[in-house]
Structure 1
């Protein structure tokens, strides 16, 4: 009989229960290491199921954000408290009060910081700048108050500058054996560009929608959740080239396995990350980069200094001015006309993931950290 190393509860009221970082990386890694892991998350279209190793306690799904933040968090707290866990690990800012209430001398509470929330609030275009500043400041002080006795888990390198006491557990991809076996060097690349992950304005939805107008030979394929009103805007921007925009995921979550299958469905010319400049994204090494590299795709991305340095370091793509149609057109043309070099970029990226930028390195850090927390608590 296997003896559990400790009872662990992961909580989210915002993320999908199959969220890649929460479920596929952290929860599964901890389960594999011998911890008793339970996930408290919203209902899914189909449940995690009895054959899945992670116990899933469901929360009601609210379409209204205010109701979710009030009733969803209350429900999460009640269900989490009953489990009397050794470690509570939560993933949303709205759960800060819940984490604070769950903290006891005999347990550990971890706040997993997925985003730079202060900077993210400051870039919300639908609010006036004074309102954004007030909300961002209020959030900062609320976070400082509630999180002062918590451990902090950081998903991004530069977050360490904001949270010096935090522990980096970076959001690198799991190594996909099918990607390793998949060969791209024995057939021509197609005039198809891929974007994976959530689709939004700040993630370049409008810029990506113009690409079929910039180069009429290409089609752009989006695989990730996209609000229906944004999808209509994107089709409108593409105009007469709208048929060259393919959006899979309008108003629905696309699961990790389905996204990974799309990587193998075509011999893509490149993966796209043409984001507009925002303080939030300019400092980040996008998880999207690692996923494109994992699949052996060259990257066409914005030429932010951090991103351009990343591309140069790993020789895995081309960085361009996201507002320059000429540079975007030239990058696409270069990859199309220099396919051996394009495939070499993809191979460079894949090799970097296999050797360095993969979840195995972070899994080891996560498990060591958990062991230490339980030992010294």
Structure 2
């Protein structure tokens, strides 16, 4: 038998839009692949960086604006992928579909990681003029249809997204938290936690950035909240900071993933008050599962999908996301009944260990690459 050395393919993850520290891209996919022994680097639209989470980062610079990001920066991402002599390019942004097609023509294996329902996402982008949204959404749908047939594989973040792509080449890899988080010792007793609720993640208007401080304002005297994440709009940030409840919020800003987990574990519950827009109604919220992994109850929007998930796991309370007083009432119920908070938190933790964990999802990603080469 010939003694042929097995050479692992060079895998390069590409993003021009997401932050280098993105939980799904860096901490889950890339870091997990490195630990599994793959040759992996992350090419990102950021300045050159030292390795993060054990992952080599190839920075290609910052964009000047959205147009610059879509063209000049995307071209730099393409050139970096060529310099890296990547065998497999796994990209994460619809803006890079044209880059993926070029790389495919040049002989690279290409994977498109679809985080969102892009046409629906475009229809909900406030900064795009209303008369242009439908046309751009149609263009995105056509681009994804072409990419779905040209690329070697599609990685979909949810089953709903997967339905839009060819079944034979689509793998669903959901953005669930690591089981290790749920395996940690129990957080401090509910009665000793510093915060009534925690929120981690993006701070967009449609993610409840204005409602979150209003929830804090409606809580009993002395109750405080902790918030970790980035505002994407100055007007939204200005409104949140001028809210009556903002002095009762400990705002951490954008912090490392581990620091966000610590904040969650020091809260009685975690909240997700995404607005009922089409892009959210049929998708899961990553932060909801992180709250469950940290053994804290979830207080979340009463979308039918989320109502079923929370009900099946018996891990929280669903509320009208547009009514801050309803969310505050649910949190107050948990504050006054710590035994119930403990029970719901334990149920959520159990669901993560048994069903909703990254290790199960990563096995599907790890098995994908060998099939491509």
Q: TM-score, normalised by structure 1?
A: 0.89
| CA distance in 1 between partners of 2:190 and 2:145 (Å) | 54
Task: After superposing the two structures, state which structure 1 stretch, 355-364 or 143-152, moved more.
Answer: 143-152
Give 1:243's aligned residue: 247
Pair 143,183 (structure 1): closer, same or farther in 2 beyond 3 Å: closer
Counterpart in 2 of 1:7?
10
Equivalent-residue separation in structure 2 for 1:205 and 1:113 (angstroms): 25
CA–CA separation in structure 1 for the residues paired with 2:259 and 2:38: 28
Asked whether the 8 Å contact 1:122–1:132 carries over to 2, the reply is yes
Conservation of the 8 A alpha-carbon contact between 2:270 and 2:291: yes
Give 1:54 shift. Answer: 2.6
Question: How much has 1:214 moved relative to structure 2?
Answer: 2.2
Q: Does 1:365 align with 2:364?
A: yes
Return closer, same or farther for 1:243/1:326 CA change in 2, 3 Å cut-off: closer
Partner of 1:219: 224
State the Cα RMSD in Å: 2.2
Q: Which of 207, 228, 236 is the matching residue for 1:230?
A: 236
Name the structure 1 match of 2:296.
Answer: 297
What SS is found at the alignment partner of 2:228?
A: strand
- Secondary structure, counterpart of 1:205 in structure 2: coil
By how many angstroms is 1:333 displaced?
2.3
User: Residue 335 of structure 2 aligns with which residue?
Assistant: 336
Q: Distance in 1 between matches of 2:120 and 2:317?
A: 27
Q: Map 1:229-308 onto structure 2 (within 5 A).
A: 229-236=235-242, 238-239=243-244, 241-249=245-253, 253-264=254-265, 266=266, 268-308=267-307
Picking from 202, 206, 209, the partner of 1:205 is 209
| Match of residue 44, structure 2, among 20, 41, 46 | 41
Deviation at 1:45, TM superposition (A): 8.6
Is 2:24 the counterpart of 1:18?
A: no
Cα distance between partner residues in 1 of 2:47 and 2:343: 39
Aligned length, in residue pairs = 364
**Mapped partners of 1:223, 1:191: distance in 2:** 13
The separation in 2 between residues aligned to 1:350 and 1:178, in whole angstroms, is 6
Q: Deviations over 1:211-263 (max 9, x none)?
A: 12322433232101124442221122x22x331133221xxx42212212323
TM-score of the superposed pair, with normalisation by structure 2: 0.90
Does the 8 A contact of 1:8 with 1:87 survive in 2?
yes
Q: Which residue of structure 2 lines up, in the alignment, with residue 312 of structure 1?
A: 311
Query: What's the offset of the Cα at 1:178?
Result: 8.0
Q: Residue in 2 aligned with 1:75?
A: 76
> How far apart are the structure 2 equivalents of 1:258 and 1:202?
24
Equivalent position of 1:30 in the other structure:
33
- Alpha-carbon separation, structure 1, partners of 2:143 and 2:109: 20
Counterparts of 2:34 and 2:357 in 1: how far apart (Å)?
A: 19
* Preserved CA contact (<8 Å) 1:207 1:275: no
Contact map agreement 2:13 2:41 (CA 8 A) in 1: yes
Tell me, in whole angstroms, the C-alpha distance in 2 between the residues paired with 1:148 and 1:224: 36
Is residue 100 of structure 2 the alignment partner of residue 96 of structure 1? no
Q: Which among 147, 155, 158 is matched to residue 156 of structure 1?
A: 158
Structure-2 separation of matches of 1:153 and 1:311: 25
Deviation at residue 149 of structure 1 after TM alignment: 1.0
**C-alpha deviations, 1:330-360, integer Å up to 9, x for none?**
3122111211011111111111111221110
The residue aligned with 2:320 is 321
Structure 2: distance between partners of 1:186 and 1:147: 47
Matched, 1:58 2:24: no
Counterpart residue number, 1:355:
354
CA distance in 1, matches of 2:77, 2:19: 14
Match of 1:110 in 2: 111
Distance 1:108 1:162 in 2: 21
